[in-house]
Amino acid sequence: MKKLTREDLYSLEKYAEKRPEFRSRVIGHKKNRSVPIGPHTTLYFEDRQTIQYQIQEMLRIERIFEAEGIQEELDVYNPLIPDGTNLKATFMIEYEDAEVRKQALAKMIGIERSVQIQVDGYDPVTPIANEDLERETEEKTSSVHFLRFELPPEIIAAVKEGAAISMAIDHPAYRYETDTLPEATRASLAGDLD
């Protein structure tokens, strides 16, 4: 998937005009790209469209319009766009109560490496996690992780041909698995692969 450049982005003025329609389109697109695993974790699969939205929102909020600042945002977010041989996701651990969340994160160290994608007929694939920076300490893990699932050619071919996909987390403090993903989600993820 092609990385974003400055030419792909709207100016702040143009984005203000296009934002309601663009935001609505991205929200609809994201519905087929989020996968809850159990009651407290969700994978939000990123692609060129979700990352463009994230960058546009950051530029808008921070009022960034200078070339250097725009390039910095591109440099931060472009690595989250899939490369054709992988799926990339933001992994969120979500508890409403802050104290409950704190206790859960202390028990979940290493959970990001326990996430699995299961393509029917193949061994599960676990991610490469947090390539940008370390997101856990000896006391707790972070509530946000960035995951890259590198898929071998035979799994990519199976996904492109319609193989069923499910996901799981196999961590001592959190064990859940999904049903087979809905076709709209499976097809959206297949679109990330060459």
Q: What CATH number did the domain enclosing 117 receive? A: 2.60.40
Whether residue 100 is found in the same domain as residue 181: yes
What confidence score (pLDDT) does residue 194 get?
A: 87
Residues 122 and 133 in one domain: yes
Same domain (yes/no): 55, 88:
no
The strand pairing partners of 70, in sequence order, are none
pLDDT one-digit tens code per residue, 19-34: 999 999 999 999 999 9
**Amino acid 96: pLDDT:** 95
- Do both 119 and 61 map to the same domain? no
The answer to whether the beta carbons of residues 117 and 125 sit under 8 Å apart is yes
pLDDT digits over 60-79, tens only?
999 999 999 999 999 999 99
Instruction: Verify that 101 and 112 share a domain, yes or no.
Output: yes
Q: Are residues 97 and 172 in the same domain?
A: yes
182 and 95 inside one domain: yes
Q: In terms of domains, do 147 and 158 share one?
A: yes
Task: Report how many domains make up the chain.
Answer: 2
88 and 154 fall within a common domain = yes
Domain hosting residue 99, numbered range: 35-45+82-194
Same domain as 95, residue 15: no
